[in-house]
Structure 1
């Protein structure tokens, strides 16, 4: 017993010795981080961090084109049919009477692939063109006259099956446009002009190269000071979210460049030195855009130096200085830019028109631009019309036809011209209204399914149309001799009961009416020039991609 107690005492003494040597040693403290140093503000935002880049996104989906005159097909890949049936039932709700399978089986419908490209820096609600194409394995013969029913679009690189579980980026719907003007005979594919709608806008942010609370606060504060409260928000020491102010919604790329070049310091001497450097760059550099945007980002402190440049002998210096001043809000530059808009042969006429329309006060911009509607250069007149419409001037009025396209009426003393769009929103622009057809007129469409007829001395024009499921011509409907009235009679909704207070028409498509207008101008039935706008490039990336009938 004695030896057991002795052994226990020895053991405790040994443990106590070890604890004294090791266990009770003072705790080693980690060195405290050095306090964050105030950032050097003699720099631009782009030197502190990188703006996250958002490039265009290719999207794809599947849908149904309906309202075809028996030119569709009942064929549909089984997996896609299952996905479409589920989608139709979800969208129409439990009380719907439509039978999805019968709808797909109808020869008046066609299952299509849908392609498009969401533009960079897209906001929620932004519109873009889409391309639709019938599956090559089906017996669909034409999508002409059809309407794409609402469909979902997803990122193409992530869509690996008909029912891919990935985020919906956009929705698509609208009447199908077939380009008949260039002799394109392929009618199993077409476009929906402005048919894509962005569901969710991109998130805009700056990622700091060296994260820190002081740096993030300095960048955020300077952005909000220059562009308005709540433009930027620091959500962490390394990331600053921002939005594009309403003033710059039509100049998104310019705003991003201005943000990169925005100078942070409010020190008077440093700012003066920065302005002098940028003014020298504006004068001497071959590419003056960065200097112009950096000066605009600084704002009103630059105006005195910019004003001096308006007397420069170099027209490029005058132009960039004047545009910069106007963008900052100094209308003294309007006289110089107005001179550029009237300088025949100058490549700066249209850019000057854009600058005035976007930046000048409305009551100052309209008188400067209105006279350009009469210009003999149609590109100049068209640019003036676009800005005047945006400014809601009385020289431009708009009519919606069957909720499918627009007719814009432009007051003009210059040559009468009919312009039709083939990208963006479908739109017919009549320059020099009223535009009237000739006294004796007989015009048939290429397939002889649309007829316009009027004898000399008759007050009205007769319009008729042959439908695929009716052997005889429908009509006649009477229209005035004004081209706008003829368009509305031909293209108005034939089912007026569904649209109260709406004029009855023959339901001619946008594709067919612009082809008919081209023929009327070519044959002299309408004394006006015909101008077709640029053709949409929606789905052009498919040229390097093979078929995808899965």
Structure 2
């Protein structure tokens, strides 16, 4: 019996030797994050402790970053300074693109003008359009049948765009041109089916460097083959942004989602909750409608939300103690956003620092209180703005007051700053009062071209913007000095004292078509003169005017100032087109406006968006039609 049993075991073992055994399976491992966040004590227990941001370009970071987009477009309305010389591949792309949009069809407003004829005209130029789109930008919303499709509530996030002539063309100037609607795509500039999805559209009048004579094409430093369209871009689709957990966990992802939706509940018109968990590693973020114009602040508050809030007052007190113990700028910045994320229940603790002797904790508390719209912080902020302390602290106080709810104490407290000797304080106070609609500030929208702001002051100042909404701010009593004889733009604009009225100046302007127009008895007051340059005479408004563009108006004012016919300081807003986000540095960072005419060496110059020749591929992909209307 034992021999039989042994034989059976031997046979069984031999038969099993040909059976393939199950291999050892690999165990699941946690993914390694491409971003390793440094977590100081002040941030422990917050969303930022556990996540990194992933924007549209799928990169990890601890800061929200913008996206680069580009596309080929067409500028019309040039006065013989355009060009038809472009690479054959780009020409084929533009002809096909314009045809899809309806160019050549009488219903589109261009009659029988074909795309080829339009491109071959010397009054048009093929251009490259590029822009930086803020991350987490909101797209245009579809209009209902009873809603105007152009209503501002439907608009997506807007931004400035940079436009320059196609490098191989012989275009000499884009001055006075209008950019037809142009689709912008993320990534490398291409044509054909290799193009990425359209994310934005850009159009509008071009803004060329106004601080030079437009006709002196070969005699100065100005590059008129490039310009920008102020606030001319609009995002068409929602730009997704996600939080990526550094240590994936379903439970933690659920806690983060709940904490975010507690602070940012779904708003009317929002297409879903603010935070939605995708898996154990990623959480999708939607920007609420009330925050679409300030995504950077929204992201800062979101990432500083405390996950488990049982007693906000206790957490606010802990933050206060850590800040007082280590009053570093880094801790101050984190404390500001943590307090703001906690909400109004943190105010009793924050108010304890409004009169704290150490400037860093005091300023952090005031910034947090101001962000929470605390009315008790107003007198302290006004005092700080008027105090003889550091310039950065005073500008910070003005910045906080700018966003506070309506309060007569703010307007009354800031008006004396319009007469201080410090130019930076005057300008910031003016900007603050303008945004707060102070009744002592006169604001005019001139021909839908720009806003003209007139402010009473003991100091004469001219301040012009180069980004966003075009704006000219005139403070003081500025008039054109006489006697004078000034000509500019190749004698197309001549200004001199009137021979018939001692209290007026005579202006002669020659249009591009060769027609001359002489106007006398124009007031030398700069606000009136500025409106005269912009006004277009119509039967409804027959007063005289030259109907100049914003760019040329600034150029004329600057020519008068440069030739010392205007006794005023001339300041220009810094160009923030390539910055694209409101703040990436600490809350107290301050960059001084440059005096016009001073050239600073740019040691950190941003590279061109488009590097190398464009990649051209066969034209096969269908595109959405858009209406072309200058």
TM superposition score category, shorter chain reference: 0.7 to 0.9
**Which residue matches 2:115?**
100
**Which residue matches 1:65?**
75
**Which residue matches 1:10?**
none
**Which residue matches 1:276?**
317
Separation of aligned partners in 1, 2:519 and 2:404: 49
Residue 77 of structure 1: which of 82, 87, 93 is its match?
87
The verdict on how the C-alpha distance between 1:543 and 1:201 changes in structure 2, with shifts beyond 3 A counting, is closer
Residue 252 of structure 1: which of 286, 292, 295 is its match?
295
Summarize the alignment of residues 444-455 of structure 1 with structure 2, pairs less than 5 Å apart: 444-455=487-498
Separation of aligned partners in 2, 1:180 and 1:488: 17
Separation of aligned partners in 2, 1:233 and 1:319: 31
**Which residue matches 1:310?**
354
**Which residue matches 1:196?**
233
Q: 1:290: how far off?
A: 0.4
**Which residue matches 1:443?**
486
Residue 160 of structure 2: which of 121, 129, 143 is its match?
129
Residue 221 of structure 2: which of 180, 184, 201 is its match?
184
Summarize the alignment of residues 23-34 of structure 1 with structure 2, pairs less than 5 Å apart: none
Q: Do structure 1's residue 174 and structure 2's residue 204 form an aligned pair? A: yes
**Which residue matches 1:27?**
none
The verdict on how the C-alpha distance between 1:149 and 1:397 changes in structure 2, with shifts beyond 3 A counting, is farther
**Which residue matches 2:97?**
87
The verdict on how the C-alpha distance between 1:258 and 1:184 changes in structure 2, with shifts beyond 3 A counting, is same
Separation of aligned partners in 1, 2:402 and 2:90: 48
The verdict on how the C-alpha distance between 1:297 and 1:407 changes in structure 2, with shifts beyond 3 A counting, is closer
Asked if the contact 1:407–1:484 (Cα under 8 Å) also holds between the matched residues in 2, the reply is: no
The verdict on how the C-alpha distance between 1:490 and 1:478 changes in structure 2, with shifts beyond 3 A counting, is farther
Asked if the contact 1:80–1:163 (Cα under 8 Å) also holds between the matched residues in 2, the reply is: no
Q: Do structure 1's residue 545 and structure 2's residue 589 form an aligned pair? A: no
Q: 1:454: how far off?
A: 2.7
Asked if the contact 2:136–2:295 (Cα under 8 Å) also holds between the matched residues in 1, the reply is: yes
**Which residue matches 1:393?**
438
Separation of aligned partners in 2, 1:126 and 1:277: 38
Residue 481 of structure 1: which of 524, 529, 532 is its match?
524
The verdict on how the C-alpha distance between 1:141 and 1:330 changes in structure 2, with shifts beyond 3 A counting, is closer
Separation of aligned partners in 1, 2:293 and 2:411: 18
The verdict on how the C-alpha distance between 1:396 and 1:100 changes in structure 2, with shifts beyond 3 A counting, is farther
Asked if the contact 1:133–1:189 (Cα under 8 Å) also holds between the matched residues in 2, the reply is: yes
Q: 1:389: how far off?
A: 2.6
Unaligned 5+ runs, structure 1: 1-41
**Which residue matches 2:425?**
380
Asked if the contact 1:480–1:486 (Cα under 8 Å) also holds between the matched residues in 2, the reply is: yes
Asked if the contact 2:135–2:241 (Cα under 8 Å) also holds between the matched residues in 1, the reply is: no
Asked if the contact 2:382–2:410 (Cα under 8 Å) also holds between the matched residues in 1, the reply is: no
The verdict on how the C-alpha distance between 1:504 and 1:89 changes in structure 2, with shifts beyond 3 A counting, is farther
Residue 351 of structure 1: which of 396, 421, 435 is its match?
396
Residue 296 of structure 1: which of 337, 340, 343 is its match?
340
Summarize the alignment of residues 221-260 of structure 1 with structure 2, pairs less than 5 Å apart: 221-230=258-267, 232-236=274-278, 238=280, 239-245=282-288, 248=291, 251-260=294-303
**Which residue matches 2:545?**
505
**Which residue matches 1:419?**
463
Cα deviation code 1:356-378 (max 9, x no counterpart): 11234444433333333333222
The verdict on how the C-alpha distance between 1:152 and 1:100 changes in structure 2, with shifts beyond 3 A counting, is same
Query: Mean alpha-carbon deviation: is it higher for 147-156 or for 71-80?
Result: 71-80
Cα deviation code 1:419-469 (max 9, x no counterpart): 12223333221123x533235343211522111233274444332222344
Asked if the contact 1:55–1:121 (Cα under 8 Å) also holds between the matched residues in 2, the reply is: no
Greater radius of gyration (CA): 1
Separation of aligned partners in 2, 1:166 and 1:303: 47
Asked if the contact 1:462–1:476 (Cα under 8 Å) also holds between the matched residues in 2, the reply is: yes
Q: Do structure 1's residue 138 and structure 2's residue 169 form an aligned pair? A: yes
Separation of aligned partners in 2, 1:111 and 1:544: 16
Separation of aligned partners in 2, 1:163 and 1:140: 28
Asked if the contact 2:93–2:191 (Cα under 8 Å) also holds between the matched residues in 1, the reply is: no
Q: 1:343: how far off?
A: 1.8
Q: 1:338: how far off?
A: 1.2
Separation of aligned partners in 2, 1:127 and 1:397: 26
State the superposition RMSD in angstroms. Answer: 3.1
Asked if the contact 2:130–2:609 (Cα under 8 Å) also holds between the matched residues in 1, the reply is: no
Unaligned 5+ runs, structure 2: 1-43, 56-63, 140-155, 213-219, 268-272, 580-605, 617-630
Q: Do structure 1's residue 155 and structure 2's residue 155 form an aligned pair? A: no
Asked if the contact 2:138–2:292 (Cα under 8 Å) also holds between the matched residues in 1, the reply is: no
Separation of aligned partners in 2, 1:549 and 1:453: 53
The verdict on how the C-alpha distance between 1:229 and 1:531 changes in structure 2, with shifts beyond 3 A counting, is same
Tell me the SS of whatever aligns to 2:481: coil
